[in-house]
Structure 1
Amino acid sequence: MTERIVVGAALLDGGRLLAARRSAPAELAGRWELPGGKVETGERPDDALARELREELGVDAEAVERVPGQWPLREPYVLHVWTARLRPGSPAPRPLQDHDELRWLTPADLWDVSWLDQDVPAVREVAARLAGDAR
């Protein structure tokens, strides 16, 4: 079976990472994730990331760079994570689809939320980048 890509956004602003709490499906509700979603046929991953952030959070954002690695989800999906930033003039993120709460997390409180298992390795990668930026 051909692998399908799901993009996740490590949305960064002022040295903080945005976490989104799932409201659906039931088995994921209450856990935290990097927002994003499936890449549609013929769509570039960075375009899918911008589309998903617009649909889920109501923001105008752009992908910056791919976080090294990929993480398996349920067959046939695999997670690719990109750092992203809000474009100038974008409204503040708000939970519109699949989430009921958002939090901006500093490097000191990244692990205060219960991340989905598949997002933990990507959050570790992003945490290392945030720590480097703080120096």
Structure 2
Amino acid sequence: MAENVWAYRAGVDHLAGDLTGYGVEALDGSIGKVDKHSDEVTDAYLVVDTGVWILGKEVLLPAGLVTRIDHMAEKVYVDRTKEQIKSAPEFHQDKNLGNSHRREALGTHYLSRIPFIVPPA
């Protein structure tokens, strides 16, 4: 995990193209498509439109959750489960994008839910 949850991890190629429209894959399946993204050095995020998955809810994902980006397949992979993302504090792009208290709550939510992954035998 990146030291700052709002910064991409080292080695994640986020500058190779516009991520808008890319599919987003959680640890346990697809969660939607990137609607908006920021690649600011310490303030990077993805706004994901979940479509019908959770009734059209938008979610804000800190860039530090991104483990890799496949530009050929147009997919972004994150290291949280669907349930962890679904249970994040409510987000509305038009009202909350610049709200530092909302963003702090989201960062805390995701940092407190680091996934437990069983290592291969």
TM-score, reference length from structure 2: 0.33
TM-score, reference length from structure 1: 0.31
Q: Which has the higher helix share?
A: 1
Q: Which has the higher strand share?
A: 1
